[in-house]
Chains A and B, each alone.
Chain A
């Protein structure tokens, strides 16, 4: 029996090659897309799960107010809480990411991917140690942990425990262990780790007993016995806060601490200030999971539609099988079996496509992911998807085909004319196009929003800005350096600032003005800038003056418009008012128009500027077309003044673009999958229209003989599809509108969701669909009518 089924399936597939191709191709592409999305989603969800104690590990986060939460905590908190609170078994501290110069045997590089960590780093986390003894690796202050990658970069080998690197041109550090490269699904990404004990007490990173200085990342491991319910966790955090209050006073004592599960860090860290890295976003993961499911559904619908459309050809077979004794169950088994086989075949093709497309896909998502075909997880997933897809896509054709009444079929009357089935099939086409239009609207909205971000007025001119950090010897020769830059006409338009206004992290609540509410929890960031800041960035001064070399500005402050508004003053009124930060009293000398210093997901808040007398980085406005020459000039200055450090620089607009990496990715992924969704839908539509034209072959012939024009026939054939598309558009617009508005609400500055976006998406879908349907219709309309009428 099985043999008989297999043969008939094979011969059917072979006989109607074009249909089979459309069917299998559509399903394969859909499945391949779903695989890729699945791999990505799985990767995003697997972050930090590889640590042995992942389930008990938490990061301590802090918040002054609902709007200001940070990933950092004060240095002493880890030790103190671990000793006072029984539920906390272990703790680990990390500094901010640090930047050091390393040298070995003439190879010298600036390394920006490092942390200082407590000595239990290797036992707390489960990074793979290739060489060295993990238990003692961070005991001494003069050691360093390297990853395989960095070890190879300097030594060309990983067998380097005991060898030395020169740090910052002076301090030798001994390699105490070499780690395997950090897995891409770790939220901590680094090339080296230094012991916290190596930090000097004059360094701002020094682990002082300052309970108000939020500069460390603190991780806790809780008791294994503790069931991490929300209640249990909040009990622990309450204890932490109670303990914290005994060390602090004022507004800072009201800090709210939270325990963030290690596995949540990657996808659920959207609002944290000074976080370790660019994180993923659970919403994007959910959105793409949904898109993956959509694509699979579209592909399955294709399969159903093509299979049932072909039913006329199978109807006679069904009728006959029934006449000679097959019951319905046997026929359903036969057709489900066919869909199982076709699905399995498609899964194999899809896997091949996915494997081939993986490198390109990896480039798109900015991560390298591998397919491990033989993992139990993958096998489970494949089996699930084969069963789901074959049942979902095969059930309707099976039920439909097996329902034919033999007598009617053999008389040549097809039950497919029954309206219930037609409505169902049309419904499927509508669903396909609803999904396609939804994806199209998504693509357009994301694209326009990114364009908007790129081109919107941030309050400054972002182009042609080059920045160079002060490093090494320049710190000691600042004036000479500045003079050298000022002398050259190419580099003379520069300013010294401590940070770029792209994503200012921290802030303070320790500022004062007349009439400030003492219980205010508003955290205001601060920038240290020099006299040329406003002019170099092209910002607008609303009142007063900028800092100036002509005045003694060490106690002068500038604020932005929003800060003035917080103080309840107009820009003009604010000028001259007394102001203080960290108890340093002074006056406001100028008010600058609001400019963005955060990603546009957040609105511009208040900002304070003070006069920069200590340095940081130089931001140079280059003259258009003279970038190369300017770079060469800066490099010459740096090499002369700072010969022991490599020359490094960056561009401000690239820095800004980097803020929207995950949006850029989402944009590309949406565009890709929207394209695929439409392609698959059109494969199905093409098959359907070809089938319809074939079914009405004779009718078309008769109409032509009776004098219908080609246009008339094309209209006749495309009319029903246009109706379906219009229904799809009507359904899709509100859904996608809602989705787009939801997404846009995540941005403080955003495009308006215009009717034109929905119109454009619908028009694209409509045109592509019409071209698809029109081709077959035109072919049918142009044929010689005698062909269809001949054999009667």
Chain B
């Protein structure tokens, strides 16, 4: 599903290159649940952003669903990722002015889906995550765990093949974190490919493969 080859990413600081990512080669198959681990500054998030097309490397190639991503024009590239990738963020990043329902609906409105269909999808999500009763609340009326659930529901609303999660439990207490991890496990069992960045050994165990990054390089395990 994903194949990264010789990915480099660096910054120029005072004339010398500081590498964030150095020669990353990675294959991820459909249906995997991968945890990326590593200390702060090791390039975990950058790697995740590259996977999700939020960022581009300075060198290297990326095959996503057999397509050579960087050979595509930016428009095509955006289309390729738009409906196939869902993001979950550490600080949820819900839109404050929209209700739970509307937040989940947002990705759908950019996809030319009819309103009745949208209603069905959002209803389905609310149901699946047990937040029907909260659909008219605004993000600031919810606990962190609940907000993250909404965030995951939003990521899934577009029925993506891949979920990219950047420390999804970072702002949550352990109970909430565990709930989210269980949810990921369950989604993975239903066939969704998941890549998560985490600091926590325990959370990483939920995945079926752990990738360790150190100073921008993959550590052989």
Contact = CB atoms under 8 A, between A and B. Distances in A.
Chains A and B form a bound pair: yes
Contact of B105 (A4, A12, A316): A4
B110 A330 contact: yes
Contact of A325 (B96, B97, B102, B111): B111
Given A1-B109, A7-B102, A330-B110, A325 B82 contact: yes
A317 B95 contact: yes
Contacts of B110: 1, 321, 324-327, 330
B111 A320 contact: no
Given A8-B98, A11-B97, A406 B107 contact: no
Nearest to A4: B109
B41 to A, nearest CB: 14
B49 interface: yes
A509 interface: no
Given A324-B158, A325-B158, A4 B106 contact: yes
Contact of A406 (B54, B105, B109): B54
A317 B97 contact: yes
Nearest to B94: A320
Closest 8 CB pairs of A and B: A324-B107, A325-B110, A11-B97, A325-B82, A1-B109, A407-B54, A326-B110, A317-B95
B73 to A, nearest CB: 13
Interface string B156-193: 00100000000000000000000000000000000000
A323 B54 contact: yes
B100 to A, nearest CB: 13
Given A8-B98, A406-B54, A325 B89 contact: no
A410 interface: yes
A320 B109 contact: no
A787 interface: no
Contacts of B78: 325, 327
B83 interface: yes
27 contacts: A4-B98, A4-B102, A4-B105, A4-B109, A7-B98, A11-B97, A12-B97, A316-B95, A316-B96, A317-B96, A317-B97, A319-B93, A320-B93, A320-B94, A321-B110, A323-B54, A323-B93, A324-B87, A324-B158, A325-B82, A325-B83, A325-B107, A325-B111, A327-B75, A407-B49, A407-B54, A410-B89
A326 B83 CA distance: 11
Interface in B121-167: 154, 158
Given A320-B95, A324-B154, A325-B111, A407 B55 contact: yes
A316 B82 CA distance: 18
A324 to B, nearest CB: 4
Nearest to B106: A324
Interface in B45-91: 49, 54-55, 75, 78, 82-83, 87, 89
Interface residues of A, number: 21
A134 to B, nearest CB: 65
A320 B150 CA distance: 14
A8 B93 contact: no
Interface in A562-591: none
B93 A410 contact: yes
Contacts of A4: 98, 102, 105-106, 109
B87 A8 contact: no
Nearest to A11: B97
Nearest to A410: B93
Nearest to B82: A325
A200 interface: no
B211 to A, nearest CB: 21
Interface residues of B, number: 24
Interface string A3-31: 01001100110010000000000000000
Contacts of B111: 325
A11 B96 CA distance: 10
Contacts of A8: 95, 97-98
B171 to A, nearest CB: 14
Given A7-B97, A324-B158, A406-B54, 11 more contacts: A11-B97, A319-B93, A324-B107, A324-B110, A325-B82, A325-B110, A327-B78, A407-B49, A407-B55, A410-B89, A410-B93
Most buried by A among B78, B93, B98: B93
A4 B110 CA distance: 11
Interface string A403-429: 000110010000000000000000000
A330 B109 CA distance: 10
Nearest to B115: A3
Contacts of B102: 4, 7
B94 to A, nearest CB: 8
Contacts of B158: 324-325
B106 to A, nearest CB: 6
Contact of B87 (A15, A316, A323, A326): A323
Contacts of B49: 407
Contacts of A327: 75, 78, 110
Contact of A316 (B54, B55, B93, B154): B93
A405 to B, nearest CB: 9
Nearest to B95: A317
Contacts of B75: 327
Nearest to A10: B97
Interface string A293-324: 00000000000000000000000110111011
A323 B158 CA distance: 12
A365 to B, nearest CB: 45
A323 B97 CA distance: 17
A661 to B, nearest CB: 54
Contacts of B154: 324
Contacts of A325: 78, 82-83, 107, 110-111, 158
Nearest to A1: B109
A324 B159 CA distance: 12
